[in-house]
Structure 1
């Protein structure tokens, strides 16, 4: 991962578009981008996901991030929301249908939404092209993840080449969490915005696959049982053990 000081001078003259769902990973990535790029915009996608609570969280998180640092307020630009119901219609998975989360014969959990990240980055690239941004930022991770093939580093490197060729323009895909555990993602949030940012990520974001935003835990909101909650809780426990939270 590029350290803040190494990238600051180059990124200051660049614009970035962050895939921003309102969850822990994308919020951490948004803070990461705001420390680096001169202009940062966000894009969210409503594809009929069961965890609609994350979309509700988006506005509040953006508002609080603007108020957190004058530099972030200055750099944080327009938010784009896309409606993509067709993805929910064809996905046939536990994130878009009311069904029990389980593993399929392929070995993948049925929370895998086929083609989701490929579509998200393609649409984001079209927005970035018109908005004069050359950097796309996503919270994909190959370290602590469920085996989703469109989260793999090789998949996204290949997609970066395809998008640059298809648009005949330089496109860079940044995935700052790709090699991090969930505990290291909490640490990145702390290094990015300090204790205040960690508290925002903990108390304002939503990751739970079941859309449970009624039960609050030491690590944030969620059912506490779905894979997303368990991973978030495990990372918090590992990271916060030596912290004051």
Structure 2
């Protein structure tokens, strides 16, 4: 047995001895850990639409969207989501994980300081790493720490990355105050809405309600139009502006 397999098997034995083995769980009961908060995956209209589309076309796009995998269903869904969120454009991904990675790596460059909340999802943590941009991890929901990082940065650009609703503890980011800081320090605010849309109110949080029912975050002044233009949708999408600031 070569050295690589020896190392892998030894590591597996250590995990097993430490009680860290993982196994699949087939649930037959009430699921309190689902991300499908509104039960849309089992909604009769959603199920009927899925069956209708499968019968009309197929069960798969059979290719990546970059090649021949984009269908009319993608465009209809993205147009409907953008209209619902009152934003100019939306693009869907195969998973929320990929949506976050795409958003962060597209927005951050070598001269961008990423300021990431300590409670951000693993997909955002990986996205910051893959962006290969300098990253400052700030204490959870600490506006003073965010401002200190913005004020002390040496980079010409800054990207503040937060979640509207943090899934583990259920608390929310203060999006109006974060937006104010981003406008003041010429930074971009990226909000992960995976746990906010449909939960915090009819119009969610990022740019729409700030996590507070009945409120709407005011649009940034001219010249800071891009201060809050990207939001991850629940599951697998990004929405924002098509145009430049």
With the length of structure 2 as denominator, give the TM-score of the two structures. Answer: 0.32
Structure in which a larger fraction of residues adopt helix: 1
Larger radius of gyration: 2
**TM-score, length-normalised on structure 1?**
0.32
